């Protein structure tokens, strides 16, 4: 309820004024000073103030009568409602913000990863190309938003700084990409509302759609990967391909940050810094990934070739100047295969697809660093042998036939490597002295030289280094 109070005149010839007090939705006491008006007019104001306050607290729009009354007020009187938080500034008084200013502020104030901001830029370029950088953001309507989305769907030329041939046959954006752009546009204009630059988001009711794109999913078999590993020109490339396909690490963020101190040779574990999800905190910042025998053999070979004091497992992946995608496409061609879409993500997805056939989905999702829902939408792929198994009678709820063996992430070749590593008769050759790190590994916190990594010894058994401790804290 609002209350009306009479304020005495200060001077002898002055007239008394009126003050309306009320409590807003946050429980704060607010006031509207009417000045020297007749008492009946002040009582009308009390009723209107109560109605406006109730609408704001309930989150509903004012009715036609109330909205018309507010619109009819002169600017000086309307400002009293604005100062009390009961009305928005009129268009003439509101600061005009252009689309160019909004996009610049959105990038400057973003707290997301640089790679994420770079992906946002494609949407920002698209908005600027359609509306123009000088377009006032409060002049963009919901109808304009619909027109922009339709233009994005039909556009075949592309916009922005990076223009390249698209993967679709007609050179249009994929449905998942359109959905991503709509989602980012909503975020941009939602930020404008939060900053007080806009009253309503014209993109709020625009349907985003699914950002999953099954058309670009490709399963990369272990046989193909072994051909590519044989064609790799260096150990860095062998490690990069193996870690992406056999351990499901993100490239380059997780592979480039991996250190020799992150490897637990005794228990066969990798401690991985998940830079993409570390801002969520807790277990999202660091995860533990199992090392299969085939990957462990490659890691052991790489360790023996590493320089003394080396810390990074794949230094090449940590350098931003290296174009990993282009070089990997050349290696794939050299191996006699054709490059697939989303080179590194499909390696990671293929790894998860293999693992989830043998192990629980929730455990595999934890190893990969996301939820089972994300895995189902963006990673897991249907395999041809699933279809054939049902046709052959394996999907009738009965036990699988002997001729259709249970698929495993490591085939006979991997099992042979495991046997060789575990067998004393198949010992590794005598190696040089153990490497010692010159400073603490990024994920261990050990003293200098305490995170020495031992290669596979001659007796065939793994070293005595224990599980590396988790990072106590990570910053975004």
Q: Helix (H) and strand (E) counts for the chain?
A: 18, 6
Q: Say if residue 358 is in the same domain as residue 231.
A: yes
Q: Say if residue 228 is in the same domain as residue 355.
A: yes
**Facing residues of 435 across strands?**
453
72-131 per-position pLDDT tens digit? 888 888 888 988 889 888 766 557 889 999 999 998 888 777 777 888 888 999 999 999
Say which residues have a Cβ less than 8 Å from residue 474's Cβ, sequence separation at least 6: 273, 278, 281, 285, 286
- pTM exceeds cut of 0.85: no
Q: Say if residue 205 is in the same domain as residue 130.
A: yes
User: 167 lies in a domain?
Assistant: yes
**Facing residues of 312 across strands?**
259
Q: Say if residue 185 is in the same domain as residue 279.
A: no
Q: pLDDT > 90: what percent of the chain?
A: 28
d(CA 366, CA 282): 13
Q: Say if residue 195 is in the same domain as residue 233.
A: no
Q: Say if residue 114 is in the same domain as residue 203.
A: yes
**Residue 433 half-sphere exposure, CB side, CA atoms within 13 Å?**
4
User: 178 lies in a domain?
Assistant: yes
User: 379 lies in a domain?
Assistant: yes
Of the candidates 243, 252, 255, 258, the residue with the CA atom closest to the CA atom of residue 291: 243
Q: Say if residue 226 is in the same domain as residue 204.
A: no
The pLDDT value recorded for residue 476 is: 37
Number of Cβ within 10 Å of residue 334's Cβ equals: 14
pLDDT at position 297 over 50: yes
| Average pLDDT, integer, range 337-348 | 89
Q: Say if residue 267 is in the same domain as residue 325.
A: yes
Of the candidates 255, 290, 260, the residue with the CA atom closest to the CA atom of residue 274: 255
| Average pLDDT, integer, range 403-430 | 51
Task: Confirm if 289 and 468 have CB atoms less than 8 A apart.
Answer: no
Task: Confirm if 434 and 453 have CB atoms less than 8 A apart.
Answer: yes
Domain count along the chain: 3
d(CA 271, CA 139): 51
User: 270 lies in a domain?
Assistant: yes
CATH assignment at residue 141: 1.10.150.130
- Domain end, chosen from 211, 244, 269, is at 211
d(CA 467, CA 473): 18
pLDDT at position 440 over 70: no
User: 399 lies in a domain?
Assistant: no
Q: Say if residue 52 is in the same domain as residue 71.
A: yes
The pLDDT value recorded for residue 373 is: 74
User: 433 lies in a domain?
Assistant: no
- Domain end, chosen from 155, 177, 211, is at 211
Range of the domain at 418: 222-393+404-426
pLDDT at position 10 over 70: no
Question: Pairing relation of β-strands 263-264 and 3-7?
Answer: unpaired
pLDDT at position 345 over 70: yes
CATH assignment at residue 358: 1.10.443.10
pLDDT at position 168 over 70: no
Average pLDDT over all residues of the chain: 77
The pLDDT value recorded for residue 45 is: 92
User: 153 lies in a domain?
Assistant: yes
pLDDT at position 447 over 80: no
**DSSP string covering 158-177:** --SS-----SSTTSPPPHHH
Q: Say if residue 76 is in the same domain as residue 135.
A: no
Give residue 460's pLDDT band: very low, low, confident or very high (50, 70, 90): very low
User: 456 lies in a domain?
Assistant: no
Q: Mapping DSSP to helix (H, G, I), strand (E, B) and coil, where does residue 224 land?
A: helix
Q: Say if residue 11 is in the same domain as residue 70.
A: yes
Q: Say if residue 68 is in the same domain as residue 196.
A: no
- Domain end, chosen from 53, 83, 113, is at 83
Task: Confirm if 42 and 4 have CB atoms less than 8 A apart.
Answer: yes
């Amino acid at each position: 309820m609002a209350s009306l109070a009479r304020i005495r005149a200060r001077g002898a010839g002055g007239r008394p004024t009126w003050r309306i007090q009320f409590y807003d939705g946050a429980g704060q006491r607010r006031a509207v000073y009417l000045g020297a008006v007749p008492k009946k007019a002040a009582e009308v104001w009390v009723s209107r103030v109560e109605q406006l306050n109730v609408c704001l607290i309930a989150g509903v729009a004012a009715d036609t009568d109330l909205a018309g009354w507010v619109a009819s007020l002169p600017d000086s009187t309307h400002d009293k409602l604005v100062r009390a938080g009961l009305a928005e500034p009129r268009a003439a008084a509101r600061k005009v913000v252009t689309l160019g200013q909004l996009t610049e502020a959105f990038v400057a104030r973003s707290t997301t990863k640089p790679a994420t901001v770079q992906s946002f830029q494609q949407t920002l370029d698209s908005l600027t190309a359609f509306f123009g950088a000088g377009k006032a953001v409060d002049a963009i309507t919901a109808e304009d938003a619909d027109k922009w989305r339709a233009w994005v769907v039909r556009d075949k030329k592309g916009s922005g700084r990076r223009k390249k041939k698209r993967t679709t046959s007609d050179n249009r954006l994929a449905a998942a990409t359109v959905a991503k752009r709509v989602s980012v546009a909503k975020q941009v204009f939602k930020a404008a509302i939060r900053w007080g630059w806009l009253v309503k988001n014209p993109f709020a009711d625009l349907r985003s759609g699914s950002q999953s794109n099954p058309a670009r999913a490709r399963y990369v078999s272990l046989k193909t990967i072994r051909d590519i590993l044989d064609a790799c020109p260096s150990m860095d490339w062998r490690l990069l391909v193996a870690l992406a396909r056999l351990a499901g690490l993100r490239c380059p963020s997780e592979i480039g940050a991996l250190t020799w101190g992150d490897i637990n040779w005794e228990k066969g574990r990798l401690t991985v810094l998940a830079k993409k999800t570390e801002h969520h905190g807790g277990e999202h910042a660091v995860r533990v990934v199992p090392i299969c025998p085939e990957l462990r053999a490659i890691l052991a070979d790489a360790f023996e070739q590493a320089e003394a004091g080396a810390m990074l497992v794949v230094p090449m992946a940590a350098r931003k100047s290296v174009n990993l995608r282009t070089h990997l496409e050349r290696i794939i061609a050299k191996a006699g295969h054709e490059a697939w879409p989303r080179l590194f993500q499909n390696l990671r997805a293929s790894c998860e697809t293999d693992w989830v056939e043998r192990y629980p989905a929730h455990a595999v999702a934890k190893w990969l660093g996301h939820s089972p829902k994300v895995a189902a939408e963006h990673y897991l792929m249907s395999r041809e042998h699933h279809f054939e198994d049902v046709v052959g009678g394996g999907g009738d709820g009965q036990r699988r036939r002997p001729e259709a063996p249970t698929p495993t992430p490591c085939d006979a070749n991997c099992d042979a490597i495991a046997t060789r590593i575990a067998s004393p008769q198949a010992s590794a050759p005598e190696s040089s002295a153990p490497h010692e790190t010159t400073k603490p590994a990024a994920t261990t916190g050990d003293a200098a030289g305490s995170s020495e990594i031992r290669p596979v010894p001659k007796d065939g058994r793994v070293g005595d280094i224990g599980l590396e401790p988790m990072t106590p804290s990570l910053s975004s």
